[in-house]
Copies of this chain bind each other. A is one copy, B any other.
Amino acid sequence: MKTSKKAARVADPQWERRVRESFGRQGLMRYLGAELAGLRAGECEIRVIYREELTQQHGYFHGGVTAAIADSASGYAAYTLMPTGYSVLAVEYKINFVAPAQGEMLAARARVVRSGKTLTICAADVFAVKDGAETVCATALSTIMAMAGKPDSRDGRNG
């Protein structure tokens, strides 16, 4: 029995610059100290270093941080495959927290599961790195929409 799979196909040769510029415009990622640590066609890794400002009540990483980097990593994994002139929009995601997000760093690794014309499905795992050893602390599944004719820029002023 053979398995057919759609390979990740890049539609814009400038995808890497486009993704990095968009990431640079996310005020929250900068504020959390998150870093774009890995980028390949259909894949993205975002890391964040532990500090008190990112904690929940027990002193571990807050689920909001875990989810935020999984969300951004998924969006950018999808964005690597989109043509120019498109913008990326998170439609929804689901995340399971499977172990305490405890350690000196979190790393979210997202990959495109299915890339359609309008919708892209991504899976992401978040790893807690403690004393150099990784443990999966969350796993997520998300739906991302390609918005045609809406370039990713800062014209959209809030407020």
Are A1 and B129 neighbours in the complex by a CB distance under 8 Å?
A: yes
Give Cα A129–Cα B145 distance, bound, in whole angstroms.
Answer: 24
A2, A56, A61, A68, most chain B CB atoms within 10 A: A56
Chain A 88-126 interface residues, beta-carbon cutoff 8 Å to B: 89-100, 102-104, 113-114, 116, 118-119, 121, 123
Asked whether A152 is an interface residue with its Cβ less than 8 Å from the other chain, the reply is yes
A134 CA / B4 CA spacing, docked (Å): 6
CA A102 to CA B140, docked complex, whole Å = 25
**Cβ contacts under 8 Å, A116 to chain B:** 98
A interface size (C-beta, 8 A): 78
Choice from B4, B67, B104 contacting A64 with Cβ under 8 Å: B67
A93–B94 contact, CB under 8 A?
yes
Chain B residues lying within 8 Å of A71, measured Cβ to Cβ, are: 63-64, 67
